[in-house]
Amino acid sequence: MPMVYIGADHAGFEAKELLKEFFSQKEIKVEDCGALVLDQEDDYPDIAHEVAVKIQKDSESLGILLCGSGGGVAVAANKHNGIRAIQAWDKESAQLARKDDNANIVAIGARLIDKETIEEIADTFVSTAFSNEDRYKRRLEKVHNLENL
């Protein structure tokens, strides 16, 4: 099982803490990249940056980012080379993010999704492997080449 880096701003803080306990019970290694305390004034780009940098350094790892909508952390994480952050709202979208798109970060909207579904998304994301099918590899190569425009 890959290392999982997790981060959340104030809107996702409670869900992040629940996921840490959830993964601990499943004996999955998780590193908390912040916020380490609930702070209504924190900024999601700072948290997304911390998780993205960890994944850049450890390409076999995965990340989970939480904010109010999931959109902000996805946009911020995707500013980093080699990061493929995708929002997921249910188990199926999390599975497809990994299987088809080889996403390395899942972004979750903690204000929009119930806690049980957040656990399902996170669990599915970290337990699903990239399919490695030629058509998906070809598409990802095209995405990679877009970075060079």
Q: What is the pLDDT of residues 25-77, one digit of tens each?
A: 999 999 999 999 999 999 999 999 999 999 999 999 999 999 999 999 999 99
Q: Which DSSP state fits 128? A: P
Question: pTM of the predicted model, to two decimals?
Answer: 0.95
Instruction: Output the CA–CA distances (angstroms, integers) from residue 114 to 11, 29, 111, 136, 140, in the order listed.
Output: 13, 23, 8, 31, 31
Q: What is the pLDDT of residues 136-148, one digit of tens each?
A: 999 999 988 886 6
Please give the CATH number for the structural domain made up of 4-146.
Answer: 3.40.1400.10
**Which entry of 67, 97, 108, 110 is annotated as an active-site residue?**
67
Q: Is 33 a catalytic residue?
A: no
The 3-state DSSP class for residue 15 equals helix
